[in-house]
Chain A
Amino acid sequence: MATVRVPIGPQHPALKEPEGFVVWLDGERIKDFGMRLGYNHRGIEKAAEMRTYIQNIYLLERVCGICSMAHSTAFVQAVEEIGGVEIPRRAKYIRSIIGELERVHSHLLWLGVAGHEIGFDTLLMYSWRDREVVMDLLAKISGNRVHYGMNTFGGVRRDITKDLCEDILKAVDILEERTKYYIKIATEETTIRKRLTGVGYISKEDVIKLGTVGPTGRASGVAMDIRKDDPYAAYDEVEFNVITATSCDVYGRAVVRLLELMETYKLLRQFVKNMPDGEFVVRFPRKVQAGEATSRYEAPRGEDVHYVKANGTDMPERVRLRAPTMANLMSVRKMLENNNLADVPIAIAAIDPCFSCTDRSITVTGNSGSNILTWEQIRQQGINWYKNEMGIDFTELNKKYQNRGL
C-alpha cells in the first residue's frame, strides 16, 4: 500500500479540542507526523494588556478549565512578587490545598480520557464518577466546579473552615481507596497493559533536549517537579516524593500520574493538619509598582510559567505565559515514530494535552465587533482555503450541490 495521509483533526473524535495533526501511514505504521497548531488562539496575552490586574486574574484563570488554579496562582504570585507583598501563611496553605485538589481532579480526568482513547469506556465512567467527589468538594469550598476564583492579590478570597477540612479528609479517604483500585487495574489488566506498554517511547535524552515537562518528563526518568525544585506557596513546609518511572512510554506516564495521586493525598492530609490560623488575605494596592517577575507553578500537566511586567499603572505592560502542553507538544513527533495508527490517540492523550492553554493570544472578532457569517460565506471561505492551500477546486461541486438545493 502506498503512503496514505490521514488527517487527525482539527475535528476528530480522539481530540477533545481542535488541533490539526496529520500522519502519513504505510499500512498501519506511522511514517511521518505533522501538526498545525493555533486553532484555539484567543488573544489572551494581548487582552491581558488591556485589562486591570483584578480583571486579569479571571481572564488568566480561563486560559484553561482544568488548570485554572495553576494559571491564576502563577499570575498572582508574579504580581505579588513585583508588588513586594508577602501573603499570609494561611493563604499559602489554602492555595496549596486547592492546587492539590485540582491535581486530583485533573489526573482522574486524564485516567478516564486515556481509558476512552484505548476503547475502555468503563474506566472512563468509573474514574469520572469518582472524580465527582473532588468536583463537589471544590464547588463546596470555592463556589464553582472548575473556575474556582479562589485567588486574589494578597491571599485568597474564601477561607477553608473546620467543617470543610473534615470534608476534605473524608473525600481523600474515599479517593485514596479508589486510586489504589485504579493502580491495580492499570498495572494488572492485560488489555490495558498491551495497549500502553511500548507505545509513545521517548528517551531521557530527548526529554531533556525537547524541554518536556511534568508527568510526561518524569515518566522518562527526569525527576523534575517545580514543587520540589522551586517551591512556591506552602510546598517547602511539607514532605512528599517526586514520582518517576523509567519505562519512558505511555504505561509509565499512566503509572506516574496514578502514583502522584497517592502523593497528593499525602500532601492534602499534611496541608489540612498543619494549616495555621489567622488572616487569609492582606490588602494589595490597585496599582502595581514597575517591575517584572517570572513565576513558575507545577500544574497537573507540568511546569506552568508566567512572566509579568508592570509599569506602575493598574494594567500590566506585558503578560506572557506558557502552558505545559506547549512544551510537551514538541515531543509528540518523537513519541509517534514507528508506532501504529491505533496508538496515535493514546500517545497524544498521554501528554495530557490542553490545546486551549497552549494557544491563547489574538482577537476573535475582526470587523470591529461581532462577526456573524452566513452559511454561504462560510462555504465560500472553505472553498477559497482549499483552492489556495491544497490546490483543490470545489467550486463546481458547490454549484452542483446548490442546484440540488442543499
Chain B
Amino acid sequence: MSDTNREQNIQSSLESKFSFLKDKTKIRRARRMFVDVEKLSDFRPVFDHLFNELDFTRICMITGLDEGENYSFIYHLASFNGIELDLKTYTPKSSPNIKSVMNTFPGAELYERELVDMFGINVEGLPEGPRYPLPDDWPQGQYPMRKDWKKEMLDGK
C-alpha cells in the first residue's frame, strides 16, 4: 500500500533503533500501528524515543488488560498527523509495578490513577492525591477490572 509510507518510516525507525522490536511492530491499517514491548525495562526507551523523536506527543489513554499471567498495558499514543500507535507492555501478576510517565506527559495522571484503582498496579512516581475513580469506602484489596473479581466479593464472600 502506498498510503502507509509514514507508518513504514516509523516502523523502520523503531526497528533500526531497537533490535528487540524486530517483527514486533505492526501496521494494522493506515494510521494505526501496534508495537509490542515484551520487557518492562525496554518500555521506557521506546516510549521516550516515540515521544521525543517521532512526535507521538500525546497519550490518548492507557488501557489495562488482565491476560493470564501478566497484566498488560496499552499506551495509546497519538501524534498530530493522525497516526495512532498502541504501545503494549507487560508486568507479571506477582509484582505489578510500572513507572509513571507523568514526568514526560503530565496529562496521564488520571489514566494512571485508574490503573491503581482498577487493577491494583503499583505506579511508581505518581504523586499523592485523591483516588480515582472508586469511592473512598471501597474495600481494600479489591480491584474490579481484574478477571477474577466478582461483584459478590463486595459482600466479603
- A–B contact, 8 Å CB criterion (strictly below): yes
CA gap between A367 and B133 in the complex, in Å: 20
Question: Which chain A residues in 133-155 approach chain B with CB under 8 Å?
Answer: none
Q: Is B96 an interface residue (CB 8 A)?
A: no
Q: Is A177 an interface residue (CB 8 A)?
A: no
A320 touching B63, Cβ below 8 Å: yes
Partner of B107, one of A303, A327, A360, A363: A327
CA gap between A154 and B78 in the complex, in Å: 27
B61 touching A368, Cβ below 8 Å: no
Question: Which chain A residues in 348-406 approach chain B with CB under 8 Å?
Answer: 359-363, 365-368, 385, 389
Partner of A37, one of B76, B83, B110: B110
Partner of B133, one of A210, A212, A305, A361: A361
Query: Most chain-B CB neighbours within 10 Å: which of A46, A294, A329?
Result: A294
B80 touching A305, Cβ below 8 Å: no
CA gap between A81 and B135 in the complex, in Å: 35
Binds A, one of B7-15, B16-24, B39-47, B148-156: B148-156
B155 touching A318, Cβ below 8 Å: no
B31 touching A294, Cβ below 8 Å: no
What number of A residues sit within 8 Å (CB to CB) of B? 48
B132 touching A211, Cβ below 8 Å: no
Residues of B within 8 A of A360 (CB): 133
Q: Is B32 an interface residue (CB 8 A)?
A: yes
Q: Is B127 an interface residue (CB 8 A)?
A: no
User: Whole-angstrom distance from the CB of A170 to the nearest CB of chain B?
Assistant: 35
Residue of A nearest to B86 (CB): A294
Q: Is A163 an interface residue (CB 8 A)?
A: no
B106 touching A38, Cβ below 8 Å: no
Q: Please count the residue pairs between chain A and chain B whose beta carbons lie under 8 angstroms apart in the complex.
A: 108
User: Whole-angstrom distance from the CB of A356 to the nearest CB of chain B?
Assistant: 12
Question: Which chain A residues in 196-247 approach chain B with CB under 8 Å?
Answer: 208-212, 222, 224, 226, 228-230
Q: Is B82 an interface residue (CB 8 A)?
A: yes
Partner of A329, one of B32, B57, B64, B110: B110
User: Whole-angstrom distance from the CB of B60 to the nearest CB of chain A?
Assistant: 5
Q: Indicate whether A230 sits within 8 Å of B82 (C-beta atoms), given known contacts A208-B57, A366-B154.
A: yes
Q: Is B74 an interface residue (CB 8 A)?
A: yes
Interface of B is mostly: mixed
B29 touching A307, Cβ below 8 Å: no
User: Whole-angstrom distance from the CB of B127 to the nearest CB of chain A?
Assistant: 12
Interface of A is mostly: mixed
CA gap between A123 and B60 in the complex, in Å: 34
A385 touching B137, Cβ below 8 Å: yes
CA gap between A326 and B113 in the complex, in Å: 12
Q: Is A192 an interface residue (CB 8 A)?
A: no
Residues of B within 8 A of A43 (CB): 144
A320 touching B61, Cβ below 8 Å: yes
Residue of B nearest to A309 (CB): B65
Q: Indicate whether A211 sits within 8 Å of B63 (C-beta atoms), given known contacts A363-B144, A389-B136.
A: no
Residues of B within 8 A of A229 (CB): 80-82
A330 touching B60, Cβ below 8 Å: no
A296 touching B133, Cβ below 8 Å: no
CA gap between A360 and B54 in the complex, in Å: 32
A318 touching B63, Cβ below 8 Å: yes
Question: Which chain B residues in 67-124 approach chain A with CB under 8 Å?
Answer: 74, 76, 78, 80-84, 86, 105-111, 118
Q: Is A293 an interface residue (CB 8 A)?
A: yes
B63 touching A368, Cβ below 8 Å: no
Q: Is A89 an interface residue (CB 8 A)?
A: no
B154 touching A367, Cβ below 8 Å: yes
B151 touching A330, Cβ below 8 Å: no
Query: Most chain-A CB neighbours within 10 Å: which of B78, B108, B118?
Result: B78
Residue-by-residue, is A33-48 near B (CB-CB < 8 Å gives 1, otherwise 0)? Answer: 0111110010101100
Q: Indicate whether A385 sits within 8 Å of B136 (C-beta atoms), given known contacts A208-B58, A229-B81, A294-B84.
A: yes
Q: Is B130 an interface residue (CB 8 A)?
A: yes
CA gap between A222 and B79 in the complex, in Å: 12
B74 touching A307, Cβ below 8 Å: yes
Q: Is B59 an interface residue (CB 8 A)?
A: yes
Residue of A nearest to B152 (CB): A368
A-B contact pairs, 17 of them (CB 8 A): A37-B110, A37-B133, A211-B107, A228-B82, A229-B80, A230-B31, A230-B83, A294-B32, A303-B60, A320-B61, A326-B61, A327-B60, A330-B110, A362-B133, A363-B151, A366-B155, A368-B152
Closest A-B pairs by Cβ, 6 of them: A229-B82, A211-B107, A38-B133, A322-B61, A210-B107, A230-B82
**Chain A: residues with CB nearer than 8 A to chain B?**
34-38, 41, 43, 45-46, 81, 208-212, 222, 224, 226, 228-230, 292-294, 296, 303, 305, 307, 309, 318, 320, 322, 326-327, 329-331, 359-363, 365-368, 385, 389
With contacts A305-B76, A322-B60 known, what are 18 further pairs, Cβ within 8 A? A34-B130, A37-B110, A37-B130, A38-B135, A208-B57, A210-B107, A211-B60, A228-B82, A230-B83, A293-B32, A305-B60, A318-B65, A320-B63, A362-B144, A363-B154, A365-B151, A368-B151, A385-B137
